[in-house]
Structure 1
Amino acid sequence: MTRHAELVVPGGRYVLRRARIPGCFLHAPSAFGPADADGSFLVDLLIDNGLVADISAAGASMPADGPAIDLAGRQVWSTLLDVHTHLDKGQVIPRAVPDGTLEGGARATIADRQFWTEEDIAARMRFGLQCAYVHGVSMIRTHLDSHEHLAPRSFQVFRAMRDEWAGRIDLQAVGLAPLAVFRTDWGNRLADLVLQSGGVLGGVTDALGVYEGAGDAEMDRLLDAFLMAAAERGLDVDLHVDQTEALDPFALPRIAAAVLRTKFKGRVLCGHCVSLALQPDDVARETIARSVDAGLDFVTLPTPMIYLQDRKPGRTPRWRGVTLAQELLDAGLKVAIGGDNCRDAWFPFGDHDMVDTLHQSVRIFHLDQPFSRALAMAGPMASDIAGAGRHGRIAVGAPADMILLSARTLNEAMCRPQADRIVLRRGKRVMDPLPDYAELDALAGMPA
């Protein structure tokens, strides 16, 4: 058998024979015969000028002539999505030195902003996007720190990056600010900027968002103002919610109540929600039920959260720092997995590699029974949450954007890093290398 990394992808019109595709990536997968033990289907794909022209059960109806690659049952996935990142603050190691705490991350980020010129933000975003592209990510939603004197600069860079990367990575932006700004005129002006940039309105509900110790009634007023600003402009919203181990204030049920109270019609995505896992069982069940009523979506960020949460000097952490992903899924709610911070003041690791994030998520959340549920959380379910259309699916008529793995089963896929993966974009193999960290050395403030 030809070694996986040495497979030659012909381009133009060709067939991928005996591709094993997890059912979550396919529309009506049962049409392709019986599933294997992983819920994957053995199929042939016809690729024609960058599009998936046909999918059929393996050996059923593909042309016998013309170029073909026999994948011999290797896994084929759609390219993946990362619907919660922070490209604007990433790639600042060792300029910023994390201390592993939430409060330290906030302080170090504020200090690092002295270097955030347009050129600096663009260089770091470009580096992160190149990593994601090579690893097989085709859609990213990035939060942009949106304080009054920073947001115009960050959004200008974002719009330039969105144009520069069009056709490689589809980008969405979230204007992220403390809910407290919706007491002020800046909240409405930020919403206007988000609208002009085709983005999503963001907010932070807890102490990290300068909640200022306000009581429940004030949080309700801020949430109403936030949702009203979004509704008036037809914007979806994306919130950082309950990011600490503190049980009170507990914002998630108040968000659900605010959505129902205001009759907000847009998508509402709640990120983090880690304290949900620490609430008493009856409170957690009631909160999940309210979330169902309000139609909330969720994104969990396991790798930075397991690093940051329950960190105390000289003490091993006692909990994993992640939300109740299985319970939310079991309630019928949509839950995505996101990469979150990457080599920044909050989390010094990461490479915008959603295959790696999936590997870690399966272990952290016990998502191995079945594996396919985890794949959907970075594929079609994440796409539905972000309104990202074709991303996360392999379908006739769609671009041939796929990841070809050397693994045959999902167990094999989770046991090795899949560093020999082949990424196809519009049917052509991505040959670009990962960027060299030395490219960041010239940025202001980087040690010589």
Structure 2
Amino acid sequence: MTEPLNAIVNARLTGRDGLHSLTINNDRFTEITVQTSPVTAKANELDAGENLVTPAFIEPHIHLDAALTAGEPRWNQSGTLFEGIECWAERKALLSHEDVTNRATQTLKLFAAHGIQYVRTHVDVTDPSLTALKAMLDVREQTASFIDLQIVAFPQEGIWSFPNGRELMEEAIRLGADVVGGIPHFEFTRDYGADSVRWLMELAHKHDRLVDVHCDEIDDPESRFLEVLAAEALRLDYGSRVAASHTCAMGSYNDAYCSRLFRLLKKSNLRFLSMPTENLHLQGRFDSYPKRRGITRVPELLDAGLKVAFGQDSIRDPWYPMGNGNLLRTLDVGLHACHMLGMSRIERSLELITDNGAAALDLKEYGIAPGRPARCVVLQGQTPYEILLGQRPVLASVRDGKVLVQRAAAQPEADLILT
């Protein structure tokens, strides 16, 4: 990091016309002022170059314990969620503290280079030794200078269906996991799945933890654990602290059922996390044609006033062999997959990787406003439309008033042609 900044100048801001200066003092934004024209940056000022400046990006759903393990010990040839779980069970037996720490740290550095400063990772706790969890607790401390990391106690092989599953979840919370997870559609029976949701919600409520459940990540229209999660969130008045991840089955629900379901979802005020790149890859594997692609009803959820964020889910692991850490890529794919390329959607699209993710992570101090931590990114483009078209990496990432990442602006493609 460099010396602390006094200001960011020549910045465009979402929802505001013209150029602005962002004054920084003691690691926080102190003032936002309108500029009548571009200015020359002074010492300890960052010139945004008339580009859009947004809050730092948020990765709300990743599996760092499995990152960079694709092909180890074998490749997921079917491309299904379930073979991925089988491959991971084999790789999990080979985990060590150093192995998990090195891969997770490497991945978080990749994220930071793309302007991500907040990450929620799911960590498999269906391991009697809790090797990955203990390693991730160390990673959280070691990377705190450039990433805020939330850790989910994630029962990859089930709570009811894995030996001592409940005890392992409780131990994970005792050790310091921030979030209670679940995977009801992977439990052996429907009753086990519903019981696991009720139990994990009580566990979170008892220990004042957030909740993030892998919910209905399957094309089966009869997989309806989302309604159980929403009902429990409503009963406990906990909805704003609960995230439903994936909810792929919602893409297969009939409209009559969804009409009733959405009434409950709005009352419960759940947060939703969609992983478009991963679920486009994993879902529809049991279909011939027409082939479902497993994306939840993102525009409908947004229109209902609910918060939806996009995440990457995986970086080169048994479930997804690709991934480069660039959330703009995920956003681009998601907008295409969800039929969200109308200009009104594009203009608000960056919320899917910023503000809505902050709501899912229950961040109390987030955004560009006086008094908030000076954490932001300078993008390459003046509008969300330009940024999506260009897909260029962030020009700068500022964390607590210091430049964490900075790169030169990409040369326009037309200028690369030799004549």
Q: For the Cα contact (< 8 Å) 2:137–2:176, is it kept in 1?
A: yes
Shift of 1:371: 2.1
Q: For the Cα contact (< 8 Å) 1:44–1:59, is it kept in 2?
A: no
Within the alignment, does 1:383 sit opposite 2:375 as a pair?
no
Shift of 1:91: 0.5
Q: Residue 119 of structure 1 aligns to a residue in which SS?
A: helix
Match of 2:65 in 1: 88
Shift of 1:144: 0.5
* Cα deviations by residue, 1:75-101 (Å, 9 ceiling, x for unpaired): 112211111110001101343423211
Within the alignment, does 1:358 sit opposite 2:331 as a pair?
yes
> How has the CA–CA distance of structure 1 residues 72 and 235 changed in structure 2, closer, same or farther, with 3 Å as cutoff?
closer
Supply the distance in 1 between the matched residues of 2:394 and 2:5 (Cα, whole angstroms): 24
Shift of 1:321: 1.7
Q: For the Cα contact (< 8 Å) 1:78–1:394, is it kept in 2?
A: yes
> How has the CA–CA distance of structure 1 residues 364 and 174 changed in structure 2, closer, same or farther, with 3 Å as cutoff?
same
Shift of 1:72: 4.6
> How has the CA–CA distance of structure 1 residues 183 and 266 changed in structure 2, closer, same or farther, with 3 Å as cutoff?
farther
Supply the distance in 2 between the matched residues of 1:68 and 1:119 (Cα, whole angstroms): 39
Match of 2:13 in 1: 21
* Cα deviations by residue, 1:136-188 (Å, 9 ceiling, x for unpaired): 111101000111414x3222111111110112101111111155438975414
Q: For the Cα contact (< 8 Å) 2:7–2:21, is it kept in 1?
A: yes
Any stretches of 5+ residues in structure 1 without a counterpart?
Answer: 1-8, 24-31, 36-40, 434-448
Give the aligned residue type for 1:170.
D
Q: For the Cα contact (< 8 Å) 2:28–2:400, is it kept in 1?
A: yes
Shift of 1:12: 4.0
Supply the distance in 2 between the matched residues of 1:432 and 1:12 (Cα, whole angstroms): 14
Map 1:151-190; keep pairs closer than 5 Å: 152-177=130-155, 178-181=157-160, 186-190=165-169
| Alignment: residue pair count | 402
Q: Which has the higher contact order (CA 8 A, sep 6+)?
A: 1
> How has the CA–CA distance of structure 1 residues 76 and 316 changed in structure 2, closer, same or farther, with 3 Å as cutoff?
farther
Q: Residue 349 of structure 2 aligns to a residue in which SS?
A: helix
Give the aligned residue type for 1:174.
V
Q: Residue 345 of structure 2 aligns to a residue in which SS?
A: coil
Match of 2:259 in 1: 285
Match of 2:29 in 1: 52
Map 1:36-185; keep pairs closer than 5 Å: 42-48=19-25, 50-59=27-36, 70-95=47-72, 96-99=74-77, 100-150=79-129, 152-177=130-155, 178-181=157-160
Match of 1:213 in 2: 189
* Cα deviations by residue, 1:289-337 (Å, 9 ceiling, x for unpaired): 1112222211111110011111369x67733321001111111111111
TM-score (norm 2): 0.86
TM-score (norm 1): 0.81
Supply the distance in 2 between the matched residues of 1:337 and 1:265 (Cα, whole angstroms): 19
Supply the distance in 2 between the matched residues of 1:259 and 1:136 (Cα, whole angstroms): 32
Any stretches of 5+ residues in structure 2 without a counterpart?
Answer: 408-419
> How has the CA–CA distance of structure 1 residues 66 and 112 changed in structure 2, closer, same or farther, with 3 Å as cutoff?
closer
Query: Which of residues 343, 346, 365 is equivalent to 2:319?
Result: 346
Root-mean-square deviation (CA, aligned residues, Å) is 2.9
**Which deviates more, 152-161 or 422-431?**
422-431
Supply the distance in 2 between the matched residues of 1:379 and 1:287 (Cα, whole angstroms): 27
* Cα deviations by residue, 1:406-441 (Å, 9 ceiling, x for unpaired): 2122221001221362222234333589xxxxxxxx
Supply the distance in 1 between the matched residues of 2:393 and 2:42 (Cα, whole angstroms): 32
Within the alignment, does 1:396 sit opposite 2:370 as a pair?
yes
Match of 2:410 in 1: none
Supply the distance in 2 between the matched residues of 1:263 and 1:57 (Cα, whole angstroms): 41
> How has the CA–CA distance of structure 1 residues 411 and 175 changed in structure 2, closer, same or farther, with 3 Å as cutoff?
same
> How has the CA–CA distance of structure 1 residues 66 and 342 changed in structure 2, closer, same or farther, with 3 Å as cutoff?
closer
Shift of 1:13: 4.6
Supply the distance in 2 between the matched residues of 1:361 and 1:247 (Cα, whole angstroms): 21
Match of 1:412 in 2: 386
